[in-house]
Every structure is written in C-alpha cells, then in structure tokens.
Amino acid sequence: MSENIIELKKLTKRYGYGDTESFALKDFDLTIKRGEFIMIMGPSGCGKTTLLNIIGLLDRATSGEYSLNGENVAGISSRRKARLRAKKIGFIFQNFNLIQDLSVLENVALPLVYVNQPRTVRLKNASDALSRFHLQEKEYYLPSQLSGGQQQRAAIARAIVSDPEIILADEPTGNLDSRASTAVMEELKSIHAEGNTIIMVTHNPALTVYATRVINMLDGQIDTDIKTVSDQNLPQKIEVKRGKRRKRKLSNRRKK
Ligand SMILES: Nc1ncnc2c1ncn2[C@@H]1O[C@H](COP(=O)(O)OP(=O)(O)OP(=O)(O)O)[C@@H](O)[C@H]1O
Ligand SMILES: [Mg+2]
C-alpha cells in the first residue's frame, strides 16, 4: 500500500469562463502521508473547502491529478467513488449536518448502509461509536435536543463509524465555545493517534498545536507549509477493538 495516502499534482479548480473566470485552486501540489494531521488555514475564499471537497470525492478538479492510495481517481467510476467515500473517508462539518428527524443513533448508523451491514449490526456499531464519545445516553434523542458540542461529537461518531482512514473536517469547532471545542479536538487527537489521517480546516491558530503539519493557503495556492512532526514519528494505523468491526477488518486483511 502506498505510504502517500493522497497525492495532488497541479490540481486546478476553475469557475466560469472568459471575463468571469476565477480559480478556487490553481496548480495545487500536495503530498499527504498516512498518519498526518494537517491543519489548513487561510483567508475566506482561498479555496479550503474546495480542496476538502475534491479530496473527499464530493467535487472534481477542472484539471490536474489526484491519487488516492496510489490510484488515480480520474479512472474510478462514480459508483466505486461512492463506495470508496463511504469506506475510506469520514466528513465533519462546521454546522454538524445531522439529519434532524432521525435519532442520534440512526444518524451515526447512516454511513454503514453503504458498507452493507445488516440493520442490527449497524445500530450496534453506531451505539459503540457513541459510547466512545460519551453520548450513550443520548442515542434516542433528536439532534435538536443536543447541545452544539454534543451534536458535533455525534457527527464525529458518524464520521468514524465505518472506520475510515481519512477524516476531513471543515471548521469543526467553528460553531463551538472553547470548552466544547477542546473536547472535539481531544476526540480528533485520539482518532489521529490510531494512525488515521486528518485534514482539518480552521480559522483558529491556537488549534494548530494538535497538528503535525500546518498549511497556509492564499488565492488557491499553498503559501506556507510547515511540518511540526517528522514523517517517521507519525502514528501507525492500529486496530481498535470496536465490536464487530475488528472481526471484519481481520477478515478483510486475510483476503489480501
Ligand atoms: N459553485 C461556485 N461557483 C463559483 N465560484 C465558486 C463556487 N464555489 C466556490 N467558488 C469560489 O471559489 C473560491 C474558494 O471557495 P471556498 O469555499 O473553497 O473558500 P474557503 O477557503 O473555504 O472560504 P471560507 O473560509 O469562507 O469557508 C471562492 O472565491 C468562491 O467564491
Ligand atoms: Mg470554507
């Protein structure tokens, strides 16, 4: 398996033509190693969300190359992209994006629909994920009955329930007070310590203490790029015992 989990080469995202032409990303080069915790900063409109959406296979670049685990995504069918997204990538958003008329438990179980688990197993795994984030008593609540911090922790549980190796977070603490924000960052820290790769956008410089690399963007390009942890000290992916998931992972590995 490629040590570079993500490789972007001359990635460009253009909007409009002629007089209205503008670039959200321009000749953007970035190589991300497994186990990095990257924080992306930069002024409003510099292309941070565009970048996360392309990495998360929710959007596509106008030109350039994107390799995920050594595979060029341009050659992947949209059906397989959807499956890759469900299995490999977890999303966390600033406004939580929980579905308001589903219970917290059903929200967290949702990504497992795409990895073909039966409903009872889905709910068990969702319940395990919620316990990890200390929300076990809130399983049957609706999102609106939770505080902002609790909603974001539920959204993190949803992002990690299928045990993806890449977590994309777009200003996950943007709507939280400092206490809830610290709680969310500590959860992300523990997910990172398990060897997962995290790419997070933030406007808060104080949070960069959690990162292994800080990238400042300007006008669709990298302005500065600083690694605070050397590549050999990045965490290795470890198996976490979480209900049925461990068995599934082990049997997957046997197949290889
Ligand atoms: N659908 C679209 N059509 C035209 N321009 C767009 C579209 N989506 C984004 N843009 C432009 O691309 C640029 C980058 O947008 P993006 O959302 O990535 O910025 P951002 O860095 O996430 O900003 P913020 O910090 O405000 O969230 C902006 O100039 C924006 O206006
Ligand atoms: Mg944005």
Any domain includes 152: no
Q: Which of 11, 25, 48 to mutate to test the pocket of ligand 1 (most atoms within 8 A of CB)?
A: 48
The predicted pLDDT at position 240 comes to 58
Which atom of ligand 1 has the smallest separation from the CA of 13? 12
C-alpha to C-alpha distance for 14 and 18, rounded to whole angstroms: 11
Compute the distance from residue 201 Cα to the ligand 2 centre, in Å: 8
Tell me if residue 89 falls in helix, strand or coil: strand
Ligand 1: does its nearest atom lie under 6 Å from the Cβ of 24? Answer: yes
Compute the distance from residue 7 Cα to the ligand 1 centre, in Å: 22
Closest ligand to Cα 24: 1
Q: Which residue has the higher pLDDT, 84 or 246?
A: 84
Answer yes or no: is pLDDT of 244 > 80: no
Q: Quick one: pLDDT band at residue 116, thresholds 50, 70, 90?
A: confident
pLDDT for 170-195, tens place per residue? 999 999 999 999 999 999 999 999 99
What's phi and psi for 70, nearest 5 deg?
80, 0
Compute the distance from residue 40 Cα to the ligand 2 centre, in Å: 10
What's phi and psi for 194, nearest 5 deg?
-80, 5
Per-residue pLDDT, averaged over 203-214, amounts to: 97
Answer yes or no: is pLDDT of 249 > 70: no
Cβ contacts of 142 within 8 Å, gap of 6 or more: 100, 101, 102, 103, 104
Ligand 1: does its nearest atom lie under 6 Å from the Cβ of 50? Answer: yes
The predicted pLDDT at position 44 comes to 96
Answer yes or no: is pLDDT of 255 > 60: no
The predicted pLDDT at position 237 comes to 83
Q: Please identify which residue in the block is written with the tokens 């470890």.
A: 238
Which residues lie at CB < 5 A from ion ligand 2? 49
Q: Which of 28, 40, 50, 59 to mutate to test the pocket of ligand 1 (most atoms within 8 A of CB)?
A: 50
Range of the domain at 39: 4-95+164-255
Any domain includes 246: yes
Sheet with 37-41: strands ordered across? 89-92, 166-170, 197-201, 37-41, 213-218, 221-227
Any domain includes 157: no
- Using alpha carbons, select from 74, 247, 10, 57 the residue that is nearest to residue 166: 57
**How many structural domains is the chain composed of?**
1
Distance, C-alpha 158 to centroid of its chain: 11
C-alpha to C-alpha distance for 67 and 84, rounded to whole angstroms: 13
Compute the distance from residue 49 Cα to the ligand 1 centre, in Å: 7
Any domain includes 127: no
Which atom of ligand 1 has the smallest separation from the CA of 171? 27
The predicted pLDDT at position 224 comes to 98
Ligand 1: does its nearest atom lie under 6 Å from the Cβ of 48? Answer: yes
The predicted pLDDT at position 246 comes to 45
What's phi and psi for 201, nearest 5 deg?
-95, 135
Answer yes or no: is pLDDT of 243 > 60: no
Ligand 1: does its nearest atom lie under 6 Å from the Cβ of 20? Answer: no
The predicted pLDDT at position 1 comes to 54
Output the average pLDDT for the chain. 91
pLDDT for 55-96, tens place per residue? 999 999 999 999 999 999 999 999 999 889 988 999 999 999
Any domain includes 123: no
Any domain includes 132: no
Cβ atoms of residues 68 and 5 within 8 Å = yes
Strand extents, DSSP E, the chain: 4-15, 22-33, 37-41, 63-68, 71-72, 89-92, 166-170, 197-201, 213-218, 221-227
Any domain includes 231: yes
Q: Quick one: pLDDT band at residue 2, thresholds 50, 70, 90?
A: low
Share of the chain above pLDDT 70, in %: 92
Ligand 1: does its nearest atom lie under 6 Å from the Cβ of 45? Answer: yes
Q: Please identify which residue in the block is written with the tokens 């966390």.
A: 92
Any domain includes 117: no
Cβ contacts of 203 within 8 Å, gap of 6 or more: 41, 171, 174
Q: Quick one: pLDDT band at residue 256, thresholds 50, 70, 90?
A: very low
Q: What is the CATH number of the domain that holds 89?
A: 3.40.50.300
Inter-CA distances, 239 with 27, 94, 189, 248, Å: 36, 28, 16, 11
Cβ atoms of residues 158 and 111 within 8 Å = yes
